[in-house]
Amino acid sequence: MDAQTAVERALPLFRTTEPNDWAALSGGLARAGLPGEMAGDVAALMPIAFGRELLDGMQIEFSPEYAVHTPGGEVRIAGQLADHPVFAAAAALASRMVERQEGGEDFVAVATWSAEFAAVNQALNAGSDVSDLVAGPPVITQASPAAAPVTPSAPAAERRPWWKVW
């Protein structure tokens, strides 16, 4: 199954599944015919793509990279989000939906699964200035690597911690 078909099949499942009920979403993706690794990638990356599209234009700085846990328990940069086929397909679908002004409920339902979207919402509700928000690479627990590991764009000492919003 290709990434575009997978994200199209997954779209209605996010609306019919209670946010953050990962077990129910996983079961729904399996029933929709998504193979295990593809289902994990869709569950992990589709909300990020939709959340970022929903927040587009707000001057929030999002990392172009994503990270994964290593078998040793460390976190490392795994690749560029745009290079991951599932993220690219989800981002294209989200962009088309916004451009055509369609699928509002489905669109928002996917975006609300995004931890980045939730963090931005919490920061804004707490009084943060949107122009000060910076998001580090999302740590994806189930996504398969897009390509060979890449090194961070700046030495660790120069990078802002992912958890700080300034």
For the stretch 34-70, pLDDT in tens is 998 899 999 999 999 999 999 888 888 899 999 988 8
How does 24-49 read in b/e, with b if 16+ C-beta sit within 10 Å? ebbebbeebebeeebbbbbbbbbbbb
This prediction's pTM:
0.80
Residue with tokens 């199209």: 8
What is the distance, to the nearest Å, from the Cα of residue 30 to the centroid of all Cα atoms in its chain? 19
- Asked if 32 and 10 touch (Cβ cutoff 8 Å), the reply is yes
C-alpha span between 120 and 131 (Å, rounded): 11
Query: Is 84 a residue whose pLDDT tops 80?
Result: yes
